[in-house]
């Protein structure tokens, strides 16, 4: 298991209302209860190379992921995120090929545009999608994802969003446009440029509230981050390997009470 | 004062850039009859047909999702993979251990999608309408919806449309296309009600049902706002694939 390099709760108290420049006041999320409620726990798997390249370098890697998903029966992740599983117009997207082979619903979350491909994250789910959410977060940049009815102790509607953060403007737009979702039932799991992580944490704690931010890794071009409402806490992130690919097993708990 | 002039210039330029833009798009709508049963529930024959017309977006009706009769396949996703497109499925109701509903396919990724399921009193079954928001390569934002209205009566179909309008027109600023099987003739009460809000873009074009020798026009491409133009509108008669004709149209919308 990797240590949390970021923070869940970032200092200060509850002076802010979200969005805008709020100056020097700083938000701190309350510590979550020490005891984990296993009935409110779910996990997702986030495949990424944490760099600027595409996830799949050859067909064998896609086959490995399909085989991995197809055999995950007892401890089933809610979602599989395939970061930078880019799609080309007119060709089957990698996540779609995998989803068809394992007969599970899928969605392509566009994150950006390049000359020859739609850059994005494939999501493969063990549950059906109710709807897909998203917003344009700058020129050719998108934050998008899907909403699921998650079978926790009480069935809970959660919107999972993903994006690649290459500049702070994306974070500003996200917080300004989607603050209600991000403070209620929206969880963003994505990648952020390593050099932007601390700046983003600092921006959020001064301009937003009722959230938790966790980073999974460090020292690479990108870091995996989880931005959730304060009612959710990332309990564990575990880095694992699957043939030549790396994925992060991310365990999240919905909190019934904050302390 | 200088700051005020700069802001005024930005506002003025925004207005200029929002006007004078044109959306150009090729659309297709197809009722595939009972999950594609005439093609043994295979996606290949439909993919071949679609490739002939090369549409940007497609509305598909009567889509089976992992049903017993289609061998448990996610039909829409398999068609999307065949075509290299992006899919969104809207389930109307549970059928044969799977789903039965409508789907939207797009050449471009969509960043937002939703659906409404209408089940008015007296209706035999629920009916889904699904839609996606996509940003076209030229930067224009467009909403594409697929629908399949009830077969029972005008009264129920009017309720279907009311449910669609209530949910879709929460956003009334995005140019929208609503395509599919309305199960109603152009002079029906259903169409009269639909056209309070929507434009029948193919008004006056040919019949679409039944395929082979079509005798009534029940498959439509509707637009919002009511200023869409069709530069071509073709009825595709493929009785080997469906009991409905398909519609392919080249459309333009000017801001």
The C-alpha atoms of residue A44 and residue B28 are separated, in whole angstroms, by: 37
Residue range of the domain that includes A189: 38-254
Residues of A in Cβ contact (< 8 Å) with B82? 92
Of the CA atoms within 13 Å of residue B178, those in its CB half-sphere come to 27
- Global pTM exceeds 0.80: yes
With CB atoms and an 8 Å threshold, state whether A128 touches B91: yes
* Residue partners of A71: CB distance under 8 A and separation at least 6: none
With CB atoms and an 8 Å threshold, state whether B113 touches A132: yes
Q: Which residues pair with B223 in a beta bridge?
A: B177, B199
Q: Closest Cα of chain A to B216: distance in Å? A: 34
Nearest to B109 among A92, A108, A133 (CB): A108
With CB atoms and an 8 Å threshold, state whether B111 touches A144: yes
Q: Which of B54, B86, B134 to mutate to test the interface with A (most CBs of A within 10 A)?
A: B86
What does CATH list as the number for B21-254? 3.60.10.10
With CB atoms and an 8 Å threshold, state whether A103 touches B72: yes
Residue A45 tokens read as 């798997």
With CB atoms and an 8 Å threshold, state whether A131 touches B113: yes
The C-alpha atoms of residue B109 and residue B102 are separated, in whole angstroms, by: 18
Q: Is residue A130 part of a domain?
A: yes
What value does the mean pLDDT of chain A take? Answer: 87
> How many contacts, defined by CB atoms under 8 Å, are there between A and B?
75
Q: Which pLDDT tens digit goes with each residue over A82-92?
A: 999 999 988 99
Q: Is residue A238 part of a domain?
A: yes
Q: ipTM value, please give it.
A: 0.86
Q: Closest Cα of chain A to B206: distance in Å? A: 31
* Residue partners of B192: CB distance under 8 A and separation at least 6: none
Q: Structurally, how many domains does chain A consist of?
A: 1
Q: Collapsing DSSP states into helix, strand and coil, what is residue B13?
A: helix
Residues of A in Cβ contact (< 8 Å) with B109? 87, 108-110, 118, 120
The C-alpha atoms of residue B99 and residue B123 are separated, in whole angstroms, by: 18
The ranges assigned to domains in chain B are: 21-254
A258 touches chain B (CB under 8 A): no
With CB atoms and an 8 Å threshold, state whether A142 touches B132: no
What part of A 74-113 touches B (C-beta under 8 Å)? 87-93, 96-97, 99-100, 103-110
Q: Is residue A157 part of a domain?
A: yes
Sign of torsion over alpha carbons B14, B20, B26, B27: positive
Q: Is residue A89 part of a domain?
A: yes
A200 touches chain B (CB under 8 A): no
A259 touches chain B (CB under 8 A): no
With CB atoms and an 8 Å threshold, state whether A135 touches B112: yes
pLDDT in tens, chain B (255 residues): 455 454 444 444 444 445 678 999 999 999 999 999 999 999 999 999 999 999 999 999 999 999 999 999 999 999 999 999 999 999 999 999 999 999 999 999 998 999 999 999 999 999 999 999 998 888 899 999 999 999 999 999 999 999 999 999 999 999 999 999 999 999 999 999 999 999 999 999 999 999 999 999 999 999 999 999 999 999 999 999 999 999 999 999 998
Domain holding A112: CATH number? 3.60.10.10
Q: Is residue A243 part of a domain?
A: yes
């Amino acid at each position: 298991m990797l240590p949390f390099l970021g923070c869940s709760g970032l200092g200060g108290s509850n002076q802010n209302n979200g969005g805008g420049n709020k100056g020097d006041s700083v938000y701190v999320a309350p510590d979550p209860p020490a005891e984990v409620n296993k009935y409110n726990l779910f996990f997702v798997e986030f495949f990424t190379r944490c760099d600027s390249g595409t996830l799949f370098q050859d067909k064998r890697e896609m086959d490995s992921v399909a085989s991995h998903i197809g055999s995950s029966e007892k401890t089933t992740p809610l979602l599989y995120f395939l970061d930078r599983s880019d799609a080309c117009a007119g060709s089957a997207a990698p996540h779609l090929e995998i989803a068809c082979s394992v007969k599970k619903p899928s969605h392509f979350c566009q994150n950006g545009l390049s000359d020859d491909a739609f850059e994005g994250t494939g999501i493969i789910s063990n549950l059906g999608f109710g709807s897909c959410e998203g917003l344009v977060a700058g020129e050719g940049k998108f934050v998008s994802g899907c909403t699921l009815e998650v079978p926790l102790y009480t069935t809970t509607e959660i919107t999972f969003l993903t994006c690649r953060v290459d500049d702070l403007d994306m974070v500003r737009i996200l917080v300004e446009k989607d603050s209600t979702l991000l403070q209620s039932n929206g969880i963003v799991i994505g990648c952020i440029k390593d050099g932007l992580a601390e700046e983003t944490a600092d921006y959020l704690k001064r301009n937003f509230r009722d959230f938790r931010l966790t980073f999974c890794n460090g020292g690479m071009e990108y870091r995996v981050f989880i931005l959730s409402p304060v009612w959710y806490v990332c309990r564990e992130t575990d880095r694992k390997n699957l043939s030549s690919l790396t994925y992060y097993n991310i365990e999240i708990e919905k909190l019934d009470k904050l302390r | 004062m200088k700051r005020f002039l700069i802001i005024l210039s930005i506002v003025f330029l925004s207005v200029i850039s929002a006007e004078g833009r044109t959306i150009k798009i090729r659309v297709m709508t197809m009722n595939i009859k009972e999950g594609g049963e005439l093609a043994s529930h295979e996606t290949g024959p439909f993919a071949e047909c679609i490739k002939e017309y090369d549409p940007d977006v497609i509305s598909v009706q009567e889509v089976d999702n992992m049903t017993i009769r289609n061998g448990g396949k996610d039909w829409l996703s398999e068609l999307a993979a065949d075509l290299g497109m992006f899919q969104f499925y809207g389930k109307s109701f549970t059928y044969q251990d799977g789903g039965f509903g409508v789907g939207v396919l797009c050449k471009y990724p969509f960043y937002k999608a939703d659906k409404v399921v209408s089940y008015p009193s007296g209706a035999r079954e629920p009916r889904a309408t699904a839609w996606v928001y996509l940003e076209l390569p030229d930067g224009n934002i467009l909403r594409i919806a697929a629908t399949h209205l009830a077969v029972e009566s005008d009264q129920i179909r009017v309720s279907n449309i009311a449910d669609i309008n209530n949910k879709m027109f929460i956003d009334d600023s995005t140019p929208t296309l609503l395509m599919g099987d309305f199960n109603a003739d152009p002079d029906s009460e259903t169409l009269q009600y639909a056209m309070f809000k929507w434009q029948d873009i193919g008004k006056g074009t040919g019949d679409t049902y039944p395929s082979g020798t079509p005798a009534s026009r029940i498959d439509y491409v509707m637009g919002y706002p009511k200023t869409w133009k069709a530069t071509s509108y073709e009825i595709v008669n493929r009785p080997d694939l469906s009991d409905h004709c398909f519609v392919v149209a080249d459309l333009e919308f000017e801001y």
